[in-house]
Structure 1
């Protein structure tokens, strides 16, 4: 079980790095091609690249809002649960000091 947690952490780290790289590369490509003007937008590879980069940033941006909301709710729930003090309410004959030699 301990090995799977390490593997899951590695996968999560790779996913975060990939997401950051996609956003950075898309932003750089949009900045480099900001002054691009062409007449035929249907067959222009630069226009399709710009459109794809815009879609990447929009998709990841809306996904980050959902992830931030889930993290906030999970953090609030863990704070709420850890605020309670749990006490054992199990009673046994020994804890009640009942004599068993009748």
Structure 2
């Protein structure tokens, strides 16, 4: 299916906003219930939600580390490739300024 640039930009912006919302919600919920203590953590909805928030933050953190790594590697590759200057390795008698007199 063919997608034009405006649709792909809209989809990427929605994904970015959703990721930021999940991260901020997880941090806010975790910090709001930091002093939560319960006796039965298996059936506690707050404890299960804290576990879900923790796992989402860990997975986002892992993805962020991978994204930063790939961005750094790509930027280094582009920097090196842009600084490269083409030089001809082909030498001729004229380029060496050899006199062709007999």
Interval containing the TM-score (normalised by the shorter chain): 0.7 to 0.9
Equivalent position SS for 2:13: helix
TM-score by length of 1: 0.73
Matched, 1:7 2:19: no
Residue 18 of structure 1 and its aligned partner are, at CA, apart by 1.3
Q: Distance in 2 between matches of 1:6 and 1:73?
A: 28
Q: Which runs of 4+ in 1 moved over 6 A?
A: none
Q: Distance in 1 between matches of 2:69 and 2:16?
A: 17
Residue 32 of structure 1 and its aligned partner are, at CA, apart by 1.0
Change (3 A) 1:7 1:85: farther
For 1:29-68, what aligned pairs fall within 5 Å after superposition? Answer: 29-68=29-68
Q: Distance in 2 between matches of 1:72 and 1:8?
A: 24
TM-score by length of 2: 0.73
Change (3 A) 1:7 1:78: farther
Once superposed, what is the RMSD of the aligned Cα atoms?
A: 1.8
User: 5+ residue gaps in structure 1?
Assistant: 88-102
- State the Cα deviation string for residues 10-32 of structure 1 (Å, max 9, x = none): 22222221111111000000111
User: 5+ residue gaps in structure 2?
Assistant: 88-102
Residue 9 of structure 1 and its aligned partner are, at CA, apart by 2.4
Q: Where does residue 78 of structure 1 map in the other structure? A: 78
Change (3 A) 1:23 1:82: same
Q: Distance in 2 between matches of 1:13 and 1:60?
A: 17
